[in-house]
Amino acid sequence: MNDIDRLIQIMGRLPGLGPRSARRAVLHLLKKREALLHPLIDALGEVAANVKTCTVCGNLDAADPCTICRDASRDGSLICVVADVGDLWALERIATFKGRYHVLGGVLSALDGVGPEQLSIAPLLRRLEGGEVKEVILALGATVDGQTTGHYLSDRLQPLNVAISRLAHGVPVGGELDYLDDGTLIQALKARQKL
């Protein structure tokens, strides 16, 4: 296999790129060597060399503890539990949450053989032992596995002296009732808010 084919094959393993779009991407890189290929190689090298997993919260960052864990202006009494670093990034984009995070590294899944030991649950419990944390927000996906993980965690956290909350379910902003699934509509009706 030649260099180009090997690169196409590796690029095709990225999520969102199939064999055809990987080919197109590689061709584009070869046409824009200075503007794209060399910067991409440099940026990948930097990330490979510098980015590590935060030993406190599981975030990915050049610093350990990560920038969020170090930030003294953040509320250390509030921990938001997410399944994945991508979820942490999503919450950071809305710039509304000012507490700290804890990345589980996945959700419980009987099908995929993910049990509590595979997730960062013991480190979460250790973080709560200090007594600084007053509230834990379970920001998990509204999927079966996400909800199972939420129930499991809320059982484990119950004996500790912390408030436990989860994200609200309901009509997504911009959503039309007509197109909503029944589950969402039921949750939205149950959790209706007084005006």
Could you list the residues that contact a copy of itself (CB under 8 A)?
2-4, 6-7, 10-11, 13-17, 21, 23-30, 33, 36-41, 43-48, 50-51, 60-62, 67, 84-86, 89
Nearer to a copy of itself, 44 or 122 (CB): 44
Name the minimum Å distance from CB 5 to a copy of itself: 10
Name the minimum Å distance from CB 151 to a copy of itself: 26
- Taking every pair of C-alpha atoms in the chain, what is the biggest distance, in angstroms? 66
Nearer to a copy of itself, 37 or 180 (CB): 37
Name the minimum Å distance from CB 80 to a copy of itself: 18
Contact 79, 133 (CB under 8 A): yes
Name the minimum Å distance from CB 15 to a copy of itself: 5
Nearer to a copy of itself, 73 or 161 (CB): 73
Nearer to a copy of itself, 4 or 189 (CB): 4
Nearer to a copy of itself, 30 or 189 (CB): 30
Prior bond to 159 cis, omega within 30?
Answer: no
Name the minimum Å distance from CB 91 to a copy of itself: 13
Contact 76, 57 (CB under 8 A): no
- DSSP one-letter string for 96-125: ---EEEEE-SS--BTTTTB-GGGTTTHHHH
CB count in 10 Å sphere of residue 138: 22
Of 135, 146, 126, 137, residue with least CA distance to 83: 146
* Crossing angle of the two packed helices 144-157 and 122-129, in degrees rounded to 10: 40
